[in-house]
Structure 1
Amino acid sequence: MRNTLDPTKLNAALDAVHRAGMPGLFAEVRDGGHVWRGAAGFADDVAGRPVTPRMRHRVGSITKTFTAAAVLQQVESGRAGLDTPIGRYLPDLVPGGRGDAITVRMLLNHTSGLAEYLPYAYPSLKAFPVLADTGPESLDDHRFTRFQPAELIGMGVTAPAVGAPGGTPGVYSNTNYLLLGELLGRVTGTTAERYITRNVIERAGLQDTELPAGPYVGGPHSQMYEAWFGMIDPPRDYSVYDMSWVGPAASLISTVTDLNLFFGRLLAGEIVSPSSLAEMQRTVPVVSQEGRTIDYGLGLHPMEAAGQDTFWGHGGTAWGAGALAMIRADGRRRMTVAVNLQRWNRLDSWGRPQPHPIDDALAELYRVAMYG
């Protein structure tokens, strides 16, 4: 089988992102049995320590695909129903009429109408998504805060609804996936973290992936720099951070190799059944946290890429860390990229993120990675 991976072009595209202003990034691209891994820039911008392709990294909302797969496994076992009201499982967390109206499927595809809890947990983000009126102070205040899921869920459930249950477009909200974590706990008799570890991470054969119990990233890893739209200048390292603020919604630590392996096995029907995978790929319009309307399935969505092929995957951010994983529908071509700077775009006078050379360089990297 012909190898369509061009190391010279891939390395050049990776270097271009670093030159555009990204402190460090690393990636793995697979085409059938052929594999390329690369890295550019620094894991520590002060000491000059280089990044490497095998570093462990916080991958943010890519966690949602793992949590969704775990929920679909429970649907397959008959312990949960996609179109069963969440109030049947969690009447204490989503009481009354809303608990009767919001289904498990609506949590998975962000059409529940439940608000994002983040601006309530982090007071300096209270104006989110009006970025110009936010500030980064709460990020430092909560570096070692141990949030309880019920506390965060309560913030989202009691906040003004962002839509009617089942209405479209939906609105992306981490509240949905914290509730799914609690659902997993109720129907499996263990914690969501333990269940996902045993039945998704270990089933996929992942060696360097975990839902962390503490604030540290074990093993080789990069510092993770947060700029908060130029309000943190120079960007500050948030690699040590208690991730209970997102839990089963976005706390995963992984590697680019593990994520490519996971998405390959997911699309091959080895993590959930083919019928469950088909449910994950049924999409509805959802407004993302960036304000764009995207098609979103159940913890999985089609990715934008130049060309005619369909790619599936997920992106994710945490404070200072970001990643993007995508796989062609036939499972052959796949890519995961990790970056160690977030929210690099400064804001204009209207509070809108301004274009940055990093954006164009990343788009070109994705194009080269997926199409050569």
Structure 2
Amino acid sequence: MSCAANLCACLINISRCLSYIFLVFLTLVAIIVGYHIFEIFSTKPGTPIVINTWAFTASTLRSWEILNTNGTAVDAVVAGCSVCEIAQCDGTVGYGGSPDENGETTLDALIIDGATMNMGAVGSMKRIKQASKVARHVMENTKHTLLVGDGATQFAVEMGFKQTDLGTNSSAYMWKDWKTRACQPNFWTNVSPDPGMSCGPYKPSTKKSQSKPRASFANQYNHDTIGVVAIDKEGNIAAGTSTNGAKFKIPGRVGDSPIPGSGAYAMNTIGAAAATGDGDILMRFLPSFLAVQAMKYGYSPGGAAILAMHTIAEYYPEFKGAIVVVNKLGQHGAACYGFDSFPYSIANNEHNRVLVMYAKCDLQKP
């Protein structure tokens, strides 16, 4: 056989080998792509889960009980938030905590139904204890999304809720002590007299400082929020929040908790998230919406959580916050920034009991 014939035979064999390798490669790609398409677009009912911010285990347990008695995801979220409103979790949820500059406690809450994308919220609501239940009425009995202030209170009364003083001896003492400390700390900037040394009333200062204020004095016992995410046996997803906001806030302030996409977000086709921390910073980035959308484009729940926190930390390195994230399959993750660690509570079929898990706040890029 001539050299040319040998060379031709070798080239044919090489071509066959390359074709075989290419076919194997295409098969592997098809399998991987098919799996991800199935994961993204398929539904998997029967994977109930409850996850909420912080170690508010009584709330987790109540939500889990609701799911195990064929309750809906919305039922579970409202029930979990309501437990914390009654128990005054950490003094940052429900009545008797976080007085504003006038000494009054006001409440924020949000409920989102990921099956219908309907939602309801209340902000800076006065004299009504059951904030999350009122938020549900906004969702189910109005065409609005958010009611605030005295208008939210009036709506609650029309829905059958009774007005009551949200203050307690504890909140009154807290406010009086703050006044004796020259109203420190507070949320004012670029005003006179110097808000770092005295109480108001304030006027705009002629001396302007930086346009981007620094992150405020957030910690677990100030800007805390309960955020609850639930998936029921039908695969429907809901999320919600409840809080009494920031201590010594300027009257009328509404935090991130009742803002859809910031405090919480849920979509049946993707998953849900709930955030907690410095609300005035959080709401500028809509971290819950960002995390849910990140999962749509391939991020894991843990990766989506890191992305949401990292996006904020790039602009506000002194920021403190955390987020829990769940995809529609019940896979979950959490991330935090500015704390040493972040406890969150979870219950699902894998454990069939409430567990407290911890996310380390050593934030890395996703």
* TM-score, normalising length: structure 1: 0.26
* TM-score, normalising length: structure 2: 0.26
